[in-house]
Chains A and B, each alone.
Chain A
Amino acid sequence: MSMVWRSLRNLLRSPQRTTLMVALLAVSIGLALIMFTVHGATANQLGSIGTEIGTEITIRSAGSYGTMGGGEPLAQEDVDKLSSIDHVDSVQVSVQTQYSGDSLESAVDAGSLGGRGPMGGSSSGSFTMPITVMGFSAANESPTLMNGTTMEIVEGSYFTSDDADVMVVGQDLADKNSLSVGSTVDIEGTSVTVIGIYDSGTSFGNNMLIMPVDTVESLFDIDGVTSVTVVVDDIDNVDAVASDIREIFPEDVADVTTAEDMYARINDSVTNAGSTSTIGMIVAFSVAAIVVLFSVVLMMRQRVKEIGILKAIGASNRQIGFQFSLETLAVSLVGAIIGAIITYPLAQKVANMLAGGESTGMGGGPGGDMFSRVGGTVAGLDVAVSPMVFLYALAIAAALAILASVLPTWYIARVRPAEVLRNE
C-alpha cells in the first residue's frame, strides 16, 4: 500500500528528526518496560516471601546488635522456661564472645580490612581482628555463624551432646595456628581439643571457634546465652508464643523478633521497589506520550503547507490523518522494539537499584540467618525478562500512536488551506 510506503519514506527523508524521536521513544518506552518488568518481579517476590515465612522467633539480649554482640546475656533459668511454652517445637541457644588470649593468633589482620592508613604503616601493624567464639547446642548441626554464613565441616566432625571442652575451628584459623583434628589448645586455662575443621567460605567466618554452649559458658565464665531461636510448631501460633516469650523476657531485657517481623521489613523493601517501579512505569509512559505528542505537533507544524496542499487536491481529513498516524506508528514501533531490547540488559540493574541497599544493613547472630537469606533474595530481586516484553512494547507503541493520532485529527480538521497556502 503506497500510503504506508510514503509514510516510511517521509520518515527516512528527515533522518535527524526521526532518529531523535526514535531514540527518545526507545529510552522512555524501554524505561516503561523495565519498570513494568521489575514491577512484575516484585509482585512475584512478594508472593514467594509470603509462603516462605518461617515459624522462628529469635530472642537477643537487649543492646546487642548484629555482629557486635554486647548486652547482658539472657539468663539460663529464663531460657529454660522457653521449652515449656505451648506450641514450641525446639529451642536453640547460642552464646557468643571473643577470645583474645595468647594461645591462638587471629587469621584476619587489620591490613586485610583496608585499615592500613590509620594504623600508621606496617611497623605497628600488629593489630588483628579478635577471634570470635560461638557456642551452639549440639543439636544445631548447621548453625548460622555471626556473619550470616553457614559452615561446612571439611575435616573431623561436629560435636555431639556428650562432648565438652572441644571445638570446631575455622579453616583459616587452623591454618594460621597449624591446628588439625586432635590438636589441643589452652584456652582460658583449659585444654580444648580440636575435633573438626570447617569452612564457611569467608575469611571472617573462618576466623571462629565453635564450641558447645556449655563449654563456652564455663570457659569464659558466662552465665546465660546471647541469643535464642525458638521454633514454633505452626505459623498461626507464632504471635501467641511470641507474647508468652515477651512475658519471660521483657523489652528491656531482650528483643523478641518473629520471622514475620523481619520478613515485613524485607517485604517493605520489595513493596517499595514495587511502588517505585509503578510510579516509574507511569512516568516513563507519560514521557513517551509527551515525546510522541510533541513530535507530532512539530511534524504537523513543519508540514502544515503539505496538509494544505493535500486538502486542496481533495484529500479528506481522515486520509491525511491516517498518513500522519502511520508515520507516528512506524516511529513508535521502532522505538518500542529498541526499548524492548534494552530492557534485557537493564531490567536487572534497575531492580537492584530499587530493591538493593536494604539487604546488607544487618545480619549476624543466629536468627540473622533469616534476614540475610531473605536479604540476599532481595538484593538479587530476580528479574526475568520474558520475550513478552516485545508484545508489551507493541501494545505501548500502538497505544501511543492511537493517543497521538487524536492530535493530528484535531489539527488537520482546523487547517484552512486558503490560509496556509497564501503566497509568501
Chain B
Amino acid sequence: MSDKLDKVSAQDAVAAPATETPLVEVKGLKQYFNINTGLFKSKPLKAVDGVSFSIKKGETLGLVGESGCGKTTVGRTLLHLYKPTAGEIYYNGKKIVTKADVDAFRKKAAMVFQDPYSSLNPRMTVSDIIGEPLDIHKLYATKEERTEKILELMDHVGLNSEHASRYAHEFSGGQRQRIGIARALAINPDFIVCDEPVSALDVSIQAQVINMFDELQDKMGLSYLFIAHDLLVVRHISNRIAVMYLGKMVELADANEIYSHPLHPYSKALMSAVPVPDPKIARANQRIALGGDIPSPLNAPSGCPFRTRCPYATEQCAAEMPEFREVSGGHFVACHNLDKAN
C-alpha cells in the first residue's frame, strides 16, 4: 500500500515545475569513431550524431531503438567513458568542462550493464566486486567501515550478506544482476545508466529486478537512463521515452503517449511491431512492415536518417535533416511529413 503512495508522490515530483533544473542535460551530443577503411584511410562512424535530452531528479528516461542505433554509446559518452566528439553535458545545471567536473560527475553517476555474466570478473568475490568502487573513490575510513558498507549494499539489493565471500559465478543470472546493481549503488549515485539490465533474464526474474529499480528510485530519489529493447518493459519503468534511429533522436514523449500515439514513421513501425501478450489484441494488430535494412552508420543517408525506409519520404527528406521540434507539450518529433504520416 505504502509502496503505491510513494510511487505516486515520486511521479508528482517529476511532473512538478517545468522550470526545475534537470539533474542531467545533454545538448547536441556527438560521438564519432574513426574506422580504418583501408591503408592510411579512415572514416568517421557517426555512432551518435547530435542528440539532446534532459532527465529530471527522480525521473526515468527510457531509450529505445534498433541495435546499433547508438543507445549504449549515448550512455557511455554521457558518463565520459568516451570523450564526446561534440556537445555539452550539464549536471545539476552546471556544464561539465574540466577534469575536476568530470570526476565530480563520475562520483555521482554509475552504470549497470546487460550481461551479468561478462560484466563481472569471475575471479572476484562479491565483496571485492562491490568494494572496488568504494576503493576507487575512497569512500571509507576504516576496513570495518568498508565491510559494513558492502554488507549494507548487499542487503539493499536483496542478496544474502552471508554470501559476501562467494565468487560471482556461483550465482544465478538474476543474483548477478543484483551484484551489478549493488556495485553501481556503492558510490551512492543520484544517476544510473541502465544498459539493457534485464534483457538477459527470465521474465519472472526480470520482474524482481525491475521492481528493485523502482524501489531504489523511490527510496533514494535516483534518476535513470534506462536502455532496453522490450518496449512494454520500457514503458512500465519510464516516465518518458526517447526513440533513436541511426545515431539520431527521432521522437521523445511521455511513455504512455509515445506507446499509444507515436507520431514519427519509425516509432509507429516500432510500436506496431511489439508482440503483445494478449492473443486477441495480437491477432488483430496491424503491423507496419518496414522494407529494407537499417543502413550502416558509415554510410548514413543524407537528410533524415529514416528516409531510405520511410513510406512518406519526399525530396525534402533527402535534402535536409528535419528539426527535432516540440509538437505538443513535451512531445518532440523530427519529421518533415508529420501531416502525411498521421
A and B part of one assembly: no
- Identify the A interface with B (CB < 8 A): none
